[in-house]
Amino acid sequence: MPSQSSEQTSEDSRALQLLRDVFGHADFRDAQAQIVAHVATGGDALVLMPTGGGKSLCYQVPALLRDGTGVVVSPLIALMQDQVAAMQQLGVRAAFLNSTLDAQEAAKVERALVDGELDLLYVAPERLTMARCLDLLERAQIALFAIDEAHCVSQWGHDFRPEYLELSLLHERFADVPRIALTATADPQTRAEIIPRLALEEAQVFVSSFDRPNIRYTIVDKIDARAQLLRFLKEEHAGDAGIVYCLSRRKTEETAWWLQSQGIEALWYHAGMDAATRAEHQARFQREDGIVVVATIAFGMGIDKPDVRFVAHLDLPKSIEAYYQETGRAGRDGSPADAWMTYGLSDVVQQRRFIDQSDASDEFKRVSTAKLDALLGLCETAACRRVRLLSYFGEHSEPCGNCDTCLEPPQTWDATDASRKALSAIYRTGQRFGSMHVIDVLRGKTGERIARWGHHKLNVFGAGAELAEQAWRNVFRQLIALGFVQVDHGSHGALRLTESSRPVLKGEQQVQMRPVVKSGRKPKTASRTPDEVDLSPADTDLLERLKEWRRNEASSQGVPAYVILHNSSLTEIARARPLDVEALAAIGGIGAMKLERYGEAVIGLVAEDRADKATGSTP
Ligand code: ADP
Ligand code: ZN
């Protein structure tokens, strides 16, 4: 009789074999192997892994290893069809049950389930918890339950789904079936809520690092946001798919129209659109190459596109959690991606005003203020952004070399004198004016308003003429972000001194500040993962050929392009130029079924490209 450990080993090698044959990946990543082994042998698991970390394999592989059907609960109905299509491309028997199916189609899926003909079944939570569906599951053999987007049980998060609260009944009705809950939500409060709500007290918890090393963080001073965005898009992301976040619905539309007028394929997305247009914009982003969506945060959880190359923020989010979640939609495929934000004085004032003017309780306002302050700290830091970001989530790290402050360390300047002048100008003008007016006073600008208040007679009038207006705005933003000055929204954004400004005014405390950073341009060299940018011109030609073939294939099958083959696979092919099946099988993401379906076509394209190059003709 084999010992426990050798049984374990043979189970592990079965899992690895499956990973290679079906998914075409050489090895498990990080904790994947442990998670798969734990669930495949019947254990419950809670998996906390960042977006792009590879959560899907953690339930897909055990579902294939165990007898019966793996049931995947997901709130993302719009994505189920694509997820199922991706599985079918791999030769996995997958189906979904949700409200988009008519009665006849649903009955067919249900029959296949009961007859044991499905490896994976994706189900919407509201459907799963209906008595009829539970009875159906009892007549089938269930390999496991995977509860995706498990943070939807949290009543405090903005993805709350009441149906998720009922999922604890799976534990009661199917006590022997292992359950695996997964989420990319990094904040500890939400994590703590998931366990009791899903009755996962016995589950093993797997926490991965929340670092996303392929994402480069950049935060630039807002000078002319549109022009800065356009430069970023044209110089660094021409032809790439990406998301631009704005606060207001109107701004998303205006920005998208403007980008279109500048020759960029941009669409808008917000909760106020009619359902059909909204779905169309989301589908085009998901399925086509190189679409830019300008969106409010309503564009969120339903995005499952692996090759989003950038997430840009034209307005400041409200917390680090929100910033991390939004930027996390970039680079799921592991290739280099940018998280880019313009940030200025108006952002700080605006977010503070939202908090002050909301009807929420004082407690809620206090928490919101603390969260905003943490984000402002990230924006103002002269040290590594990633270190700061991760430490907010309780993770220690070293300077990353892949954020703006690591790549171009800002030379901070001694702003003690400027700060004293600014604080004193606020004080002398009676703490009744906004930053524009106070800056005019400092710069000695004459005019009707200044004269009316007699501010040209003050000592501070013209005391700050040595700094340009933009530099002063920069100083005021940091004074507010650092807590020396507060904005009184009850009286039109008047600036007031805080208790902590006293030592600065008295000259007892030094103040270091970041200078105005105009461009945020950075060398493109620090990419850590192989990417298209590293391809030679000849390889880029071949990549274009492959993409065109993929486009045709995807549209004739009615699936997104990445479901056929990922960009990373195409890039590897363009570089390695496989001319036989064995060489092609060595490419990441090409398993047995993809080889069978597309091997001939891909090898044909590589050979054709070689022949064209030899005869000197261009494609
Ligand atoms: P998540 O759901 O955690 O956001 P996914 O499951 O969608 O992440 O995986 C992200 C990407 O990483 C996908 O493109 C997937 O093919 C790839 N991936 C996952 N695991 C591996 C692995 N072990 N080897 C290579 N690629 C992997
Ligand atoms: Zn860094």
CATH number, domain containing residue 94: 3.40.50.300
Residue 382 has pLDDT above 80, yes or no: yes
Using 50, 70 and 90 to split pLDDT, how confident is the model at 5?
low
Query: Does 27 reside within a domain?
Result: yes
Residue 501 has pLDDT above 50, yes or no: yes
The answer for residues whose C-beta is within 8 angstroms of residue 64's C-beta and 6 or more apart is 18, 22, 70, 92, 119
Residue 528 has pLDDT above 60, yes or no: no
Same domain for 573 and 457, yes or no, is no
pLDDT in tens, 40-90: 999 999 999 998 899 999 999 999 999 999 999 998 887 898 899 999 999
Which of 17, 20, 23 most suits a substitution to test ligand 1, by most atoms within 8 Å of the C-beta?
23
- Average per-residue pLDDT in the chain? 90
> Which atom of ligand 1 is nearest the CA belonging to 148?
2
Q: Which ligand is nearest to the CA of 218?
A: 2
Which of 49, 332, 567 most suits a substitution to test ligand 1, by most atoms within 8 Å of the C-beta?
332
Nearest-CA residue for ligand 1 atom 18 is: 54
Task: Please give the residue that has the higher pLDDT: either 9 or 173.
Answer: 173
Same domain for 150 and 19, yes or no, is yes
Task: Please give the residue that has the higher pLDDT: either 158 or 264.
Answer: 264
Total number of domains in the chain: 4
Residue 250 has pLDDT above 80, yes or no: yes
Residue 519 has pLDDT above 60, yes or no: no
Which of 17, 30, 56 most suits a substitution to test ligand 1, by most atoms within 8 Å of the C-beta?
56
Residue 189 has pLDDT above 90, yes or no: no
Nearest-CA residue for ligand 1 atom 15 is: 54
* pLDDT score recorded for residue 490: 67
- Ligand 1 geometric centre to CA of 319 (Å): 27
Query: Does 164 reside within a domain?
Result: yes
> Which atom of ligand 1 is nearest the CA belonging to 32?
23
- Ligand 2 geometric centre to CA of 397 (Å): 10
The boundaries of the domain holding residue 575 are 537-615
Nearest-CA residue for ligand 1 atom 25 is: 25
Q: Which two tokens stand for residue 402?
A: 């892949």
* pLDDT score recorded for residue 494: 86
Residue 150 has pLDDT above 90, yes or no: yes
* pLDDT score recorded for residue 517: 63
> Which atom of ligand 1 is nearest the CA belonging to 562?
14
Q: Which ligand is nearest to the CA of 304?
A: 1
Nearest-CA residue for ligand 1 atom 9 is: 54
Instruction: Look at residue 96 and give its three-state secondary structure.
Output: strand
Which of 20, 28, 29 most suits a substitution to test ligand 1, by most atoms within 8 Å of the C-beta?
29
Query: Does 532 reside within a domain?
Result: no
Using 50, 70 and 90 to split pLDDT, how confident is the model at 27?
very high
- Ligand 1 geometric centre to CA of 365 (Å): 38
Q: Which ligand is nearest to the CA of 48?
A: 1
Query: Does 496 reside within a domain?
Result: yes
Nearest-CA residue for ligand 1 atom 21 is: 54
Q: How far apart are the first and last CA of the chain?
A: 62
The whole model's pTM is what? 0.81
Query: Does 39 reside within a domain?
Result: yes
Q: Which ligand is nearest to the CA of 339?
A: 2
Task: Please give the residue that has the higher pLDDT: either 101 or 366.
Answer: 101
Query: Does 2 reside within a domain?
Result: no
Alpha helix (H) ranges present in 381-445? 385-392, 404-407, 416-428, 435-443
* pLDDT score recorded for residue 190: 81
Q: Which ligand is nearest to the CA of 59?
A: 1
Asked whether 281 and 254 are in contact (CB, 8 A), the reply is no
> Which atom of ligand 1 is nearest the CA belonging to 28?
23
Of 387, 407, 427, the residue that ends a domain is: 407
Q: Which residues have CB atoms below 5 A from the ion given as ligand 2?
A: 384, 386, 400, 403, 406
Same domain for 542 and 464, yes or no, is no
Q: What is the DSSP string of 52-92?
A: TS-HHHHHHHHHHHSSSEEEEE-S-HHHHHHHHHHHHHTT-
Number of alpha helices (DSSP H) and beta strands (DSSP E) in the chain: 27, 17
Query: Does 255 reside within a domain?
Result: yes
pLDDT in tens, 424-476: 999 999 999 988 899 999 999 998 989 999 999 999 999 999 999 888 988 99
> Which atom of ligand 1 is nearest the CA belonging to 56?
6
Q: Which two tokens stand for residue 494?
A: 């008047």
pLDDT in tens, 256-314: 999 999 999 999 999 999 999 999 999 899 888 899 999 999 898 778 888 999 999 99
Cα 141 from Cα 116, distance rounded (Å): 7
- Ligand 1 geometric centre to CA of 87 (Å): 13
* pLDDT score recorded for residue 43: 97
- Ligand 1 geometric centre to CA of 53 (Å): 6
Task: Please give the residue that has the higher pLDDT: either 21 or 522.
Answer: 21
Percent of the chain with pLDDT over 90: 67
Of 181, 207, 233, the residue that ends a domain is: 207
Greatest mean pLDDT among 153-157, 208-212, 350-354: 208-212
Give the residue-averaged pLDDT of 173-190. Answer: 89
Same domain for 273 and 396, yes or no, is yes
Percent of the chain with pLDDT over 70: 94
Q: Which ligand is nearest to the CA of 18?
A: 1
- Ligand 2 geometric centre to CA of 478 (Å): 21
Q: Which ligand is nearest to the CA of 60?
A: 1
Q: Which ligand is nearest to the CA of 397?
A: 2
Same domain for 261 and 137, yes or no, is no
Same domain for 417 and 403, yes or no, is no
Cα 337 from Cα 319, distance rounded (Å): 21
* pLDDT score recorded for residue 526: 41
Using 50, 70 and 90 to split pLDDT, how confident is the model at 527?
very low
Which of 25, 92, 303, 572 most suits a substitution to test ligand 1, by most atoms within 8 Å of the C-beta?
25
The answer for residues whose C-beta is within 8 angstroms of residue 329's C-beta and 6 or more apart is 51, 243, 300, 303, 305, 308, 311
Nearest-CA residue for ligand 1 atom 17 is: 54
Residues with CB under 6 A from ligand 1: 25, 28-29, 32, 49, 51-57, 306, 332-333, 566, 588
Residue 2 has pLDDT above 50, yes or no: no
Give the residue-averaged pLDDT of 481-491. Answer: 80
- Ligand 2 geometric centre to CA of 386 (Å): 5
Same domain for 243 and 366, yes or no, is yes
- Ligand 1 geometric centre to CA of 29 (Å): 9
CATH number, domain containing residue 585: 1.10.150.80
- Ligand 2 geometric centre to CA of 522 (Å): 13
Same domain for 241 and 385, yes or no, is yes
pLDDT in tens, 134-147: 999 999 999 999 99
Which of 57, 82, 308 most suits a substitution to test ligand 1, by most atoms within 8 Å of the C-beta?
57
Nearest-CA residue for ligand 1 atom 13 is: 333
* pLDDT score recorded for residue 7: 64
Same domain for 224 and 304, yes or no, is yes
- Ligand 2 geometric centre to CA of 577 (Å): 35
Asked whether 167 and 159 are in contact (CB, 8 A), the reply is no
- Ligand 1 geometric centre to CA of 25 (Å): 9
CATH number, domain containing residue 462: 1.10.10.10
> Which atom of ligand 1 is nearest the CA belonging to 588?
25
Q: Which ligand is nearest to the CA of 87?
A: 1
Task: Please give the residue that has the higher pLDDT: either 410 or 48.
Answer: 48
Same domain for 221 and 187, yes or no, is no
Residue 233 has pLDDT above 90, yes or no: yes
pLDDT in tens, 101-129: 999 999 999 999 999 999 999 999 999 99
Residue 201 has pLDDT above 60, yes or no: yes
Q: Which two tokens stand for residue 232?
A: 């970023």
- Ligand 1 geometric centre to CA of 23 (Å): 10
- Ligand 2 geometric centre to CA of 234 (Å): 24
Query: Does 531 reside within a domain?
Result: no
* pLDDT score recorded for residue 518: 58
**Torsional class of 493: left (φ above 0), alpha (ψ -120 to 50), beta (otherwise):** left
Same domain for 303 and 390, yes or no, is yes
Same domain for 243 and 305, yes or no, is yes
CA distances from 296 to 76, 81, 293, 369 (A): 18, 25, 10, 21
Using 50, 70 and 90 to split pLDDT, how confident is the model at 558?
confident
The full 3-state SS of 568-616, as one line of letters, equals HHHHHHHHHCCCCHHHHHCCCCCCHHHHHHHHHHHHHHHHHHHHHHHHC
Nearest-CA residue for ligand 1 atom 19 is: 54
